[in-house]
Amino acid sequence: MGEKKSKDAKLNYGWVILGLIFGNLFVEGGVRNTQPVLLPALTHRFDGSAAMTSAIFSASGIVGGFTAPILGKMLDRIGPRYMFPLAGTFILLGWWASSTVSQGWQLFVFYSLIATLGHTAIGSFSATAVLAPWFPRSKGVMLGLADSGNPTGQAVITPLAQLIISRFGWRVAFQVVGLVFFLMTAPLNFLLQRKPPDPDAGLSVFENNESVASNIDLPEAVPESALSDAYTVVPEVQEFYALREPAVWLLLISRATGTISHQMTHLHIIAFLVFAGYGEMQSAAALGVAGLIGIVARPSFGILSDKIGREIVFTITMGMTFLSISVVILFTGGASLWALISFVALTGFSDGLSGLILGAKATDLYPSNTLGTVMGVVDVGRGIGWATGGILTGLMFDKYGDYTFAYWTAASIALLSIAAVWSVRLLEPKR
């Protein structure tokens, strides 16, 4: 009886992996949401135009986009136990070195190159590839729970970074935030990451009308060797070519258009709100509150995508993105409080969900031993978006003197991502 109780109490190790991925995505959310705060400070420091300073973060997108497929293959081969601590080290080195620069071009080396390699390696594509095999029958909800780390990072890091910049300057912000990111990614991943169980032995939650407690027991079918420290090289991975998959290309296009739209607005949102009459801390706090909403929204929409389909949920979320941009353009003039609240609510419920839903869609289509490769290719789309979105808005602002044209362009591009994701249905691989 005592032995049975001990076995029943044994936690499905997938929940530990969920916690680790949550931490990694906390960092990703923190990275992404320090950029709008850093942009005005760096523009002022280096006397650059909006476009020139945006180019630092755009270059980060280029590096991330071109390296994601390589990092995806690397993940399939060496596993996250070594991949993620290495990524954390690159983040620490890049952010601390960025705090020491005296010329703007140095940020292209330290932030856009070194730090970005770390950011990309622990991002959404690797999160999907690592977590999904642990919960094969409830991928949407579990990816949603993990992805709530992203808005949590937004809620915590955005106002923290703004506070540090206001009181101590941007150099100290780079140092403090970089150290936090390292501690969130490196030590625990090295100590606790494990190989997932065989696909047929994977666990799920919230299904079969069983209690959650019964669903988190580690089944006898999973051998201890399944929790080894490193991934085994699977021959099929070497024979799989993601670039030959039409569905992968459409997922990439949807990821690219969604990210372009996001970066065109998000990178400049603090500057936009300040331009509209809001204070810097008020604007940063608004993004933080949006992050708090996202903590609830991401697992909720993940569950919903399991129930009603990825495409429908993707359409809902990108529709809210369109509405949030429209509200910001039309109603924030004069620092309207209700407009800011509406923007925060719509952004909180939609921000970042496109990557989550596209990742879940990829796991529906392709086996777990190819997901690192698949998501690495799809993440090229995010790199394209990061590379072009921010600098496009900067160029348009420099030309027209405000953000209206750029933001309407972003709203239109958001609709293109919806068309791309529905097109995937026409070219899904036969399994």
Where are the chain's structural domains? 8-202+229-427
Residue 216's pLDDT band, with cuts at 50, 70 and 90, is very low
pLDDT in tens, 384-419: 888 888 889 888 988 888 888 999 999 999 999 999
Provide the token pair at 68: 């994601």
Q: How far apart are CA 38 and CA 22, in angstroms?
A: 24
DSSP-assigned letters across all residues of 283-343: HHHHHHHHHHHHHHHHHHHHHHHHHH-HHHHHHHHHHHHHHHHHHHHHH-TT--HHHHHHH
Q: CB-based burial of residue 210 (10 Å sphere; 0-12 exposed, 13-18 middle, 19+ buried)?
A: exposed
pLDDT in tens, 2-34: 444 444 334 578 889 999 999 999 998 888 888
Residue partners of 234: CB distance under 8 A and separation at least 6? 76, 369
Q: Is the pLDDT of residue 41 over 60?
A: yes
| Model confidence, pTM | 0.68
pLDDT in tens, 267-319: 888 888 888 888 888 888 888 888 888 888 878 887 888 888 889 999 999 99
Provide the token pair at 29: 């959310």
Identify the CATH assignment for 8-202+229-427 out of 3.30.930.10, 3.90.320.10, 1.20.1250.20, 3.30.110.40. 1.20.1250.20
